[in-house]
Amino acid sequence: MALDAGLGAILLLVGRVLFGGLLAFQGLNHFMNAEQMTGYAEMKGIPAPGFGVVASGAMLVLGGLGIIAGVFPAIAAGAVAVFLLVSAVTMHNFWAVPDDQQQDEMVQFLKNVELAGAALVFLALSGETWAYAVGVGL
């Protein structure tokens, strides 16, 4: 199925909007709930937790928008995939929390891994021509 015309182009656009929009929303959540997220990051032992919350929020917003618009899609998707995998292990380490927290952390861990898989698909497709995209990239 071609990604630059027809049904393939439309499906790729819908996927970009859904995936990138979710990422951008999650990034905005980092800014809207910075105090709570900073406390959580601090509890998890993240160095410079306030900076980490802001930096990760910016990465999610810019990565999501980059995937939606097709602007530097390889950088956007690659950065998002790395962030999601690192945060899955460092922030949602369900194996190292008390029993009453394991289920919630496992859900968040699995969500991050699943989203990282989707980001890797967009990374793999970043070398192709995307219809309905700005088309700026490496």
pLDDT of residue 29: 97
Residues 76-93: what's their mean pLDDT?
96
Q: Where are the domains of the chain?
A: 6-125
Is there a contact between 126 and 2 (Cβ–Cβ < 8 Å)? no
pLDDT of residue 137: 80
pLDDT of residue 136: 87
Asked if residue 1 has pLDDT above 80, the reply is no
Is there a contact between 88 and 60 (Cβ–Cβ < 8 Å)? no
For 8, residues 6+ apart whose C-beta sits below 8 A from its C-beta are 1, 2
Each residue's pLDDT tens digit, 19-77: 999 999 999 999 999 999 999 999 999 999 999 999 999 999 999 999 999 999 999 99
Q: Write down the pTM of the prediction.
A: 0.92
Q: pLDDT band for position 5 (50/70/90)? A: confident
Each residue's pLDDT tens digit, 96-122: 999 999 999 999 999 999 999 999 999
pLDDT of residue 11: 95
Give the residue among 94, 93, 95, 86 at the shortest CA–CA distance from 52. 86
- DSSP character at residue 136: B
Asked if residue 138 has pLDDT above 90, the reply is no
Give the residue among 78, 46, 49 at the shortest CA–CA distance from 63. 78
Each residue's pLDDT tens digit, 126-136: 999 899 999 88
